[in-house]
Amino acid sequence: MPKTYSPTSTKLKLPGIIDLFSGCGGLALGFQMAGFEIKSGLELDKNASEVASYNLHWKTGSNQSHITDDITLLEADKFYNNIDKNESFMVIGGPPCQAYSKIGRAKLNSLGEKRRPENDIRGKLYENFLDYALNIEANTIVMENVPEAIDYDGVNIPETVCKILDKNGYDAKWTILNAANFGVPQTRERLFVMAVKRSIGHLNHFPIPTHRPYSAQPDTINKLWLQSKIKDQEYYQPPTLPVGYLPYWITVGEAISDLPALFLDHNQKYKNNKPMALKSYESEPQNEFQALMRNHNQLNKVTGHMFRNTKRDFPIFSQMNEGDNYLSAHKIAMDLFKEEMRRQGVIESDTEKVAELKKKIVPPYSTEKFLGKWKKLSLTKPSHTLVAHLCTDTYSHLHPIEPRGISVREAARLQSFPDDFIFNCHMGAAFKQIGNAVPPLLSKAIALAMIKNIEGDQ
């Protein structure tokens, strides 16, 4: 049975959660933290589905699970076949964003006419999401995506979704939230559609920030193109801005300083830790965020603390400063290359040896196009947005002190996954799942707002 929640003097039975396009379960985890029960979920990626099933169900003794299947092939009636439709449900999920996001659109455009964003089936998966939600007559709905979804081949997806929900009896709005404002050590803007069936309540409450930036923040929506697209939209809800008395944004240093050191010197021998290898914490929790991440970790040790073996680039990382991008990295690499030429006595005219040596030391990337794809994190700032490309490499998120990319566990911390959330899969799959996920602390803030909307203004 769903858990009860009593924010006021009355007890409220919360709807069960149906988690679509679940990934590894970040969105659902936030709702679980707020007191909801996860009834079932659906995810195409087998690795992600198993990680979600383990963490949201199996490790607590529940025999429920997330289903691995394709939502475009599995009819809603069949998915709901084993679910008691007499109960009330909230349907949540984040349809894939590749067709909307800047990175995803660029990749699709490079693959030819048939793979252009407007021809990508993933751009219409919100229709499948709505089909599932309306099929079970969900009394509440939350859908997540990237802000770029407001302009998909000229169509505003969240506005379209809200119109459909409005016609079907829902009070619906969409908003854009920055995860850093909700205690996540990462500046990550994401779009959310929130809806409540008018027969059970109204959408009067939205997530309230728990943290604020160090400097004045005139507008959470700080991209000019975004401001122009959201102007005068019927269903757009401006986010609540942080207030002055709140604690400051969580920084990278505050998020990961208690995790064990892995690679202090670039000459150190690389060790590939296994996903379930246990490592002791570096220290006791140094702040509230670290204590929160460790709160339910009965092992009192870290798993998933593994990083990529980028042997060529470890010496480059060691000389980069916090905040440096690829321009700095390339200059360091060229200096190392010239120094090695002198050491070996290689002269410029020996083009074959020069080319061979350069290949071993200097990354072959353009200094005009590749700048943002290398970035060393700063201890005193939140991380920039984590992305699914972490599954390929971690150059976009280099450790602020050690000469390496971040580990899986560090990436999880930057997304606010607690340390007892286990990524029992290979490293690439774990990085992809983390990069794609909704930060659980952001999700929890949405869940708490939805509880108020269900409960009403009592």
List active site positions: 97
Whether 55 contacts 29, CB under 8 Å:
yes
80: exposed, middle or buried (Cβ count in 10 Å: 0-12, 13-18, 19+):
middle
Using the Cα atoms of residue 368, residue 374, residue 379 and residue 381 in order, give the sign of their dihedral: positive
Pairing of strands 89-93, 16-20: parallel
The number of residues making up the chain comes to 458
Closest by Cα among 446, 399, 366 to 192? 446
How far apart CA 194 and CA 38 sit, in angstroms, is 18
Pairing of strands 301-302, 66-68: unpaired
Closest by Cα among 100, 131, 174 to 20? 131
CA distances from 213 to 120, 246, 287, 290, 323 (A): 37, 9, 18, 19, 18
CA distances from 67 to 2, 64, 89, 379 (A): 20, 9, 17, 39
What's the start-to-end Cα distance of the chain, in Å? 24
Region of 439 on the Ramachandran plot (φ > 0 left; ψ -120 to 50 alpha; else beta): beta
144: exposed, middle or buried (Cβ count in 10 Å: 0-12, 13-18, 19+):
buried
